[in-house]
Amino acid sequence: MVASGRPPHKTDEPVNPPIVLSSTFYSLGESTAGEKVYGRFTNPTWDPLEETIAKLEDSQLPALAYASGMAAVAAGLSLIPVGGTIVIPRHAYNGSLALVAELEKTLNLTVRRVELADTHATLKAFDGADVAWLESPTNPMLEVADLPALLAGAKEQGVLSIVDNTFSTPLLQRPLQHGADVVVHSATKYMGGHSDVVLGAVVTRSPDLRAKLHGMRTLHGAVPGPFEAWLTLRGIRTMALRLEKAEANARELARRLSEHPAISKVRYPGLETDPGYQRAKSQMDGFGSILCIEITGGAQAADEMLARLELWTPATSLGGVESLAERRRRHTGEPESVPENLVRLSVGIENVNDLFADLDLALKSS
Ligand SMILES: Cc1ncc(COP(=O)(O)O)c(C=O)c1O
């Protein structure tokens, strides 16, 4: 990741790839395959990023970068045929759930909503389906899916599998290695890593699927700006370090917060008592840096606690160097089965004692 996507080792070559700020390219006569032509078709700044994301996800084919994670999600969902059947988790990123609900009407889809942690029920729901949409751990309930079993099952039953790997990052899990057909990312989160860029990515090992997605990206036009692509590659270079520190903080916070009297429940797959612990341990290379807490006293107590935070920022999003906290049910689109008092913590790389002290103070005053 540190070395990937850099210019060749030659005199006077820059160490970093340049940002190419051009919407069009010199092009004369009939355009040929591989010619750049126009900034919606390609931009040289995307290339090192797409190559690097592909390496991370273990694909020989370059990833495809998009204008946002949702553009990547929409690209994945565009693979569903009209009138098709999709299996989705009951809990997942609410934007993905909302888009599926929209497509349910406009494409006349059959949507099977499943408890993703229930492998037996999910495999059963695959029967006759066209697409399996998977996310693990889920946002924000942090349920852990048995990805190896589900992806093998999808393959066996001829179901196209798409995994949103945003929460885990390819450092913790690589779904293509378990047979996933497509992986999508909100690179806005851990890849960018500094809450200063919005970008998405799709990766596949299938030349046919890539060609189809590439063609649609060009026609739909949800392409990233060159500066965003450059920033994301820069972010990826430090992702391993950031994630290591953030996860160490998250583990320690999960442990301390489990004993906090103002918290009724801590959800974190890295806690040995968590229902997803064994599964996460066996299939992931770490537990990530998102944890959720449920505040005694309900939604109002949670909102008041958030307003008192000083080091943590109450804000949506996740995966940046700075710690963010959010009560998810403040969004009307969040499923009602997500508890009202659930606060999602995206743990950053600050000093863990400072992070705990800030939370502790805000919780104590409630
Ligand atoms: C798991 C997951 N997937 C996709 C998205 C959408 O990404 P973006 O906000 O970059 O469009 C998000 C955003 O929060 C997310 O958490």
Closest of 198, 184, 264, 203 to residue 231, by C-alpha? 198
Calpha distance 309→358 (Å, rounded):
6
pLDDT band of 286, cuts 50, 70, 90:
very high
Q: Please say if 40 is a catalytic residue.
A: yes
Q: Whose CA is nearest to atom 14 of ligand 1?
A: 317
Q: Whose CA is nearest to atom 9 of ligand 1?
A: 69
Do 93 and 224 sit in the same domain of this protein? Answer: yes
The amino acid occupying position 23 is S
Do 221 and 244 sit in the same domain of this protein? Answer: no
pLDDT band of 208, cuts 50, 70, 90:
very high
Q: Which of 55, 112, 146, 164 is catalytic?
A: 164
* 125 Rama class: left (phi>0) / alpha (psi -120 to 50) / beta: alpha
Do 230 and 245 sit in the same domain of this protein? Answer: no
128 located within any domain:
yes
Residues spanned by the domain of 317:
240-364
17 located within any domain:
no
Sheet of strand 290-295: strand arrangement? 263-267, 290-295, 342-346, 324-327, 313-314
Do 333 and 288 sit in the same domain of this protein? Answer: yes
The dihedrals phi and psi of 206, each to the nearest 5 degrees, come to -95, 120
Q: Is the predicted pLDDT of residue 34 greater than 90, yes or no?
A: no
- CA of residue 325 relative to chain centroid, distance: 17
42 CA distance to ligand 1 centroid (A)? 23
Do 58 and 188 sit in the same domain of this protein? Answer: yes
Q: What is the pTM of this model?
A: 0.97
73 CA distance to ligand 1 centroid (A)? 8
| Contact call for residues 160 and 131 (beta carbons, < 8 A) | yes
Q: Which of 237, 259, 278 is the last residue of a domain?
A: 237
CATH of the domain at 330: 3.90.1150.10
The tokens for 148 are 């190896």
Q: Please give the tally of structural domains in the chain.
A: 2
The tokens for 331 are 């969004």
pLDDT on residue 365: 72
3-state helix, strand, coil in the chain (%, to 5): 40, 15, 45
Q: To the nearest whole percent, how much of the chain has pLDDT over 70?
A: 100
**Angle between the N-to-C axes of helices 94-106 and 69-77, in degrees from 0 to 180, rounded to the nearest 10:** 40
The amino acid occupying position 234 is R
89 located within any domain:
yes
Helices (H), the chain: 46-56, 69-77, 94-106, 119-125, 147-156, 169-172, 207-220, 226-237, 239-258, 277-283, 298-308, 352-364
Calpha distance 89→337 (Å, rounded):
12
314 located within any domain:
yes
Q: What is the DSSP letter of 225?
A: P
Calpha distance 324→245 (Å, rounded):
15
pLDDT band of 366, cuts 50, 70, 90:
low
219 CA distance to ligand 1 centroid (A)? 22
Calpha distance 314→74 (Å, rounded):
28
Q: Which of 55, 112, 174, 189 is catalytic?
A: 189
Q: Which of 36, 40, 245, 256 is catalytic?
A: 40
| Contact call for residues 74 and 118 (beta carbons, < 8 A) | no
Strands 131-135, 85-89: pairing kind: parallel
Q: What is the mean pLDDT of residues 95-120?
A: 98
Do 232 and 248 sit in the same domain of this protein? Answer: no
Q: Is the predicted pLDDT of residue 276 greater than 60, yes or no?
A: yes
CATH of the domain at 152: 3.40.640.10
Q: Which of 186, 205, 237 is the last residue of a domain?
A: 237
The amino acid occupying position 283 is Q
pLDDT tens, position by position, 8-27? 999 999 999 999 999 999 99
Q: Please say if 189 is a catalytic residue.
A: yes
72 CA distance to ligand 1 centroid (A)? 9
pLDDT band of 111, cuts 50, 70, 90:
very high
Do 138 and 153 sit in the same domain of this protein? Answer: yes
32 located within any domain:
no
Strands 110-114, 64-66: pairing kind: unpaired
221 CA distance to ligand 1 centroid (A)? 19
Do 150 and 276 sit in the same domain of this protein? Answer: no
The amino acid occupying position 24 is T
The tokens for 114 are 């499943």
Do 252 and 317 sit in the same domain of this protein? Answer: yes
Do 227 and 83 sit in the same domain of this protein? Answer: yes
Mutate to test the pocket of ligand 1, among 188, 195, 197 (most ligand atoms within 8 A of CB): 188
- Helix or strand or coil: residue 294? strand
- Pocket residues for ligand 1 (CB within 6 Å)? 68-70, 73, 93, 95, 135, 139, 164, 166-167, 186, 188, 198, 200, 317
The dihedrals phi and psi of 118, each to the nearest 5 degrees, come to -85, 95
256 located within any domain:
yes
Do 68 and 215 sit in the same domain of this protein? Answer: yes
Helices vs. strands in the chain: H and E counts, helices first: 12, 12
Q: Which of 179, 213, 237 is the last residue of a domain?
A: 237
35 located within any domain:
no
- Helix or strand or coil: residue 110? strand
pLDDT tens, position by position, 228-267? 999 999 999 999 999 999 999 999 999 999 999 999 999 9
Q: Please say if 281 is a catalytic residue.
A: no
- Helix or strand or coil: residue 178? helix
Q: Please say if 93 is a catalytic residue.
A: yes
Do 197 and 314 sit in the same domain of this protein? Answer: no
Q: Is the predicted pLDDT of residue 306 greater than 90, yes or no?
A: yes
278 located within any domain:
yes
